[in-house]
Amino acid sequence: MKLLTWNIQWGLGLDGRVDLARIVRHARDLGDPDILCLQEVADNMPDLEGQGGADQFAELAALLPDHRPVIGAGVETYDEDGRRRRFGNLILSRLPVRQVIRHALPWPGTPGLNMPRTLIETMIEAPFGPVRVMTTHLEYFSGDLRALAVDAIRAAHEDGASRAVTLRETGAGPYAPTPASGSAILTGDFNMRPDDPTRMRLLAPFPDGTPAFRDAWVLRHGDVPHPPSFCIADRRYGEPHCADHVLVTGDLARRVAAIAYDTETRLSDHQPVLLTID
């Protein structure tokens, strides 16, 4: 199973062009991923450079007709004409999607620039069994909001794993049975470097034995530093560093066959990351 995570900056390349078709082509060229976890997808956001008001969630779904789209827009507002505006995350899966849960991450009143954020949790029928694939995009400007989000993500993972241990009674309609699994993959633009203490909390053990997350890069490459995934060419936000991450629960550690950061492309201000799970 191949999974790609990428903050696509609404398709805006460093050449100033917005082109979702080349985003999809590049993703396919990297490894034709079964699952794409995308951040910064926009719908009717003409204030963003080159966005033009298009519904990019629909466009990306049309460009990948063999993948099921799962939308998780943290921002949803309406313009003066009543047309919806959205900004957030998108999972596209060629593998069967059995369940979707959308988690609104904490967003208390906070000074400075910030926006509402979400975590998408999908139950995917992988070749090796059901696995919860999650993606998120954490706040850039506020460490306090990132810390609150990390606590919420840990709680969501704890809840998801508990459903595989304590089975619910099922019935008809919305009570129909769904797969449950403690196995999980967490991806996204965390807006944190690998050694950030808040990010390290994502890897902390759980007192109740919930499967803890492990860093997929470290599993394959040990002490080799994470490749940069942000600010490689555009240094407005600092020197090159890794802000985009893939974490897996410990039971999946032995299945991590490869993880690679594409540091060459300039189709976004972030770099795509490709995970291969056997």
Residue 212 within a domain: yes
Q: Which residues constitute the domain of residue 241?
A: 2-165+179-277
Query: What tokens appear for 38 in the block?
Result: 């995308």
pLDDT band at 248 (very low <50, low <70, confident <90, very high): very high
Q: What is the pLDDT of residue 205?
A: 98
Instruction: Give the number of domains in the chain.
Output: 1
How does pLDDT run across 18-51, given as a tens digit for each residue? Answer: 999 999 999 999 999 999 999 999 999 999 999 9
Q: What is the pLDDT of residue 234?
A: 87
Residue 174 within a domain: no
Of 231, 241, 230, 195, the closest CA to residue 215 belongs to 195
> What number of H helices and E strands is found in the chain?
5, 12
Residue 262 within a domain: yes
Give yes or no for residue 15 having a pLDDT over 90: yes
Q: Round to whole Å and give the CA distance between 163 and 83.
A: 38
Q: What is the pLDDT of residue 180?
A: 97
Residue 154 within a domain: yes
Q: What is the pLDDT of residue 236?
A: 87
Residue 173 within a domain: no
| Distances in whole angstroms, Cα of residue 95 to Cα of each of 66, 123, 143, 177, 252 | 9, 10, 35, 19, 18
Residue 172 within a domain: no
Give yes or no for residue 252 having a pLDDT over 90: yes
Residue 8 within a domain: yes
How does pLDDT run across 57-115, given as a tens digit for each residue? Answer: 999 999 999 999 999 999 999 999 999 999 999 999 999 999 999 999 999 999 999 99
Contact 241, 189 (CB under 8 A): no
Q: Round to whole Å and give the CA distance between 37 and 120.
A: 9
This prediction's pTM:
0.98
How does pLDDT run across 139-190, given as a tens digit for each residue? Answer: 999 999 999 999 999 999 999 999 999 999 999 999 999 999 999 999 999 9
State the CATH number of the domain containing residue 152. 3.60.10.10
Residue 171 within a domain: no
